[in-house]
């Protein structure tokens, strides 16, 4: 298969030489025993070669790309995953989420996982508080978990995590605190509720090569304000998602990792100080509340 863009910019003889190389490399994977691995390598080769030929990549640009990837690798360790961040800002993470979480009736849409989930977050009862020492405006979150036939999902496990109002997750502080995260279980009717904090926009880590890339193209590292959820229940598809805050100006400016889906934007209603809370908690300042009804798809 000859690439059309290339055919338009180089002589027929040159295009033949380039295409022959692509074909030889594809053929070199021809004996791969694992058919899926063969498919991946075949398509990857074709797309990579098509890219180089389409943009007529210079050797200087090839070297710059290698330097960039090397820097990305050097910054990556068990705490900082710069390669995932790179995938995130290219929308690759989000596209992989889309491919693997096909729409199913009114099932809640999925979005990116992000790097800040922790196993073993504390358990809270329904109505408990995930904030711990994380600062921010208190926010009551409630809703239900059901399947796509409308049946409640009692006992669904709900993991929630979020940044504080300075834009940092607990794991970004050096003091080992656990704050702004917890898990709870839906009740017999699939209902859940907890206190969190009203999400605010925050930047993805941008002090490395990915940050330099964003700066070079005039893109902001900010994520739209969000609260992370992961919901699991037997025989239902695990849902990794967020809710976003309706009216957040960053929604107009855009999310640095392309994680926003309209169905996940929820009204967060501000309640003036003194407004009675759903559970009789006494608060001295304003607070907010939102509802998120979660629908889990069947395992496909």
**Binding interface with Fe ion (CB under 5 A):** 114
Distances (CA, A) of 240 to 94, 169, 208, 216: 12, 18, 27, 31
When CB distances are held under 5 to 8 angstroms depending on the partner's kind, the choice from Fe ion, ligand BEZ, none that residue 112 binds is: ligand BEZ
Cα-Cα-Cα-Cα torsion 23, 26, 30, 32, nearest 10 degrees, comes to 170
Residue of the chain from 6, 45, 87, 88 that contacts ligand BEZ (CB under 6 A): 88
Of 3 and 170, CB closest to ligand BEZ: 170
Contact 162, 215 (CB under 8 A): no
Pairing between β-strand 294-296 and β-strand 138-147 as defined by DSSP bridges: parallel
Could you say whether residue 243 binds ligand BEZ (CB under 6 A)? no
Residue 83, classed as helix, strand or coil, is helix
Could you say whether residue 266 binds ligand BEZ (CB under 6 A)? no
Nearest residue to ligand BEZ on Cβ basis: 114
Binding mask 191-230 toward ligand BEZ (x if CB under 6 A, else -) reads -------------x------------------x-------
| Total residues belonging to the chain | 300
When CB distances are held under 5 to 8 angstroms depending on the partner's kind, the choice from Fe ion, ligand BEZ, none that residue 115 binds is: ligand BEZ
Residue of the chain from 53, 72, 101, 114 that contacts ligand BEZ (CB under 6 A): 114
- Alpha-carbon distance of 19 to 217, in angstroms, equals 32
Of 114 and 201, CB closest to Fe ion: 114
- Alpha-carbon distance of 142 to 277, in angstroms, equals 12
Of 85 and 130, CB closest to ligand BEZ: 85
Inter-axis angle of helices 59-75 and 82-89, nearest 10? 130
Shortest Å, Cβ 104 to Fe ion: 25
| φ and ψ at residue 98, rounded to 5 degrees | -60, -45
Residue of the chain from 112, 156, 197, 222 that contacts ligand BEZ (CB under 6 A): 112
Q: Can you give the binding site for ligand BEZ, defined by CB under 6 A?
A: 85, 88, 112, 114-116, 204, 223, 257
């Amino acid at each position: 298969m000859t690439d059309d863009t290339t055919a338009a910019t180089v002589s027929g003889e040159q295009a033949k030489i380039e295409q022959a190389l692509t074909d030889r490399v594809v053929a070199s994977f021809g004996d791969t025993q694992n058919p899926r691995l063969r498919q991946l390598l075949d398509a990857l080769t074709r797309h990579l070669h098509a890219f180089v030929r389409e943009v007529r990549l210079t050797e200087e640009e090839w070297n710059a790309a290698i330097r960039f990837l090397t820097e990305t690798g050097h910054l990556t360790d068990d705490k900082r995953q710069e390669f995932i961040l790179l995938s995130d800002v290219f929308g690759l993470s989000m596209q992989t989420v889309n491919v693997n979480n096909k729409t199913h009736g009114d099932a809640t849409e999925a979005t990116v996982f992000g790097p800040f989930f922790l196993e073993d977050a504390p358990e809270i009862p329904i109505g408990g508080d995930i904030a711990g020492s994380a600062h921010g405006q208190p926010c009551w979150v409630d809703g239900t978990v059901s399947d796509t036939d409308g049946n409640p999902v009692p006992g669904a496990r709900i993991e929630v995590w979020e940044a504080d109002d300075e834009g940092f997750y607990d794991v970004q502080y050096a003091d080992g605190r656990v704050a702004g995260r917890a898990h709870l279980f839906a009740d017999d009717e699939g209902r859940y509720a907890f206190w969190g904090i009203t999400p605010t926009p925050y930047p993805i880590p941008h002090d490395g090569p990915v940050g330099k890339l964003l700066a070079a193209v005039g893109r902001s590292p900010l994520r739209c304000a969000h609260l992370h959820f992961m919901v699991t229940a037997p025989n239902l598809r695990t849902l990794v998602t967020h809710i976003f805050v309706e009216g957040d100006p960053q929604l107009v400016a855009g999310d640095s990792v392309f994680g926003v889906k309209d169905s996940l934007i929820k009204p967060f209603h501000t309640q003036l100080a003194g407004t009675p809370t759903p559970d009789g908690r006494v608060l001295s300042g304003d607070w907010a509340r939102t509802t998120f009804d979660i629908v889990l798809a069947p395992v496909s």
